[in-house]
Amino acid sequence: MFRSTTGSDLGAVLSFSSPGPGPWVDALQFLAGQDSGNYRDEWTWLAFLDGRPLARGIWWGPAHSAHPTRLDCLLVDPSVPHPEVWSGALERSATRAFIEAGAPMLPEEGHVPRPALISARRL
């Protein structure tokens, strides 16, 4: 199941980390982004299998914007087979929801290098 987050998902959102050298959104950055309005629950997505979060996508947007403008972080638990399938499905699900909500354009991939998109470790 792929869905945007709610306040009750904060622990799951913050449980992801990245062992790679590339940039990713850590817990402090995420919380600061939420405080500033640049990261929002409806722009943060999780993929679940049997109730376990396996992937996380965080989209960024200007604080005044109704829609996100770029994908900042996409992490998949490396223990799942074919993490690229999970990351692609999560990104497509979120993008579809953004378009249905009236986003005038597709969010761009931000500064996230491809290897970081499919490499993550759950804490």
- What pLDDT, on the 0 to 100 scale, is given for residue 91? 95
Proportion of the chain in helix, strand, coil states, percent, rounded to 5: 35, 25, 40
Between CA 50 and CA 1 the distance in angstroms is 9
Instruction: Report whether 9 contacts 48 (CB < 8 A).
Output: no
- What pLDDT, on the 0 to 100 scale, is given for residue 114? 42
Tens-place pLDDT, residues 43-54: 999 999 999 999
- What pLDDT, on the 0 to 100 scale, is given for residue 7? 95
CA-to-CA dists, residue 2 to 22, 44, 72, 104, angstroms: 25, 11, 18, 22
Which helix (H) or strand (E) covers residue 89, if one does?
helix 83-100
- What pLDDT, on the 0 to 100 scale, is given for residue 5? 98
- What pLDDT, on the 0 to 100 scale, is given for residue 73? 94
Tens-place pLDDT, residues 6-58: 999 999 999 998 877 677 899 999 999 999 999 999 999 999 999 999 999 99
Instruction: Give the total number of structural domains in the chain.
Output: 1
Tens-place pLDDT, residues 69-118: 999 999 999 899 999 999 999 999 999 999 999 998 777 665 444 434 44
Q: What is the CATH number of the domain that holds 78?
A: 3.40.630
Range of the domain at 89: 2-122
Q: DSSP class of residue 51?
A: T
- What pLDDT, on the 0 to 100 scale, is given for residue 117? 44
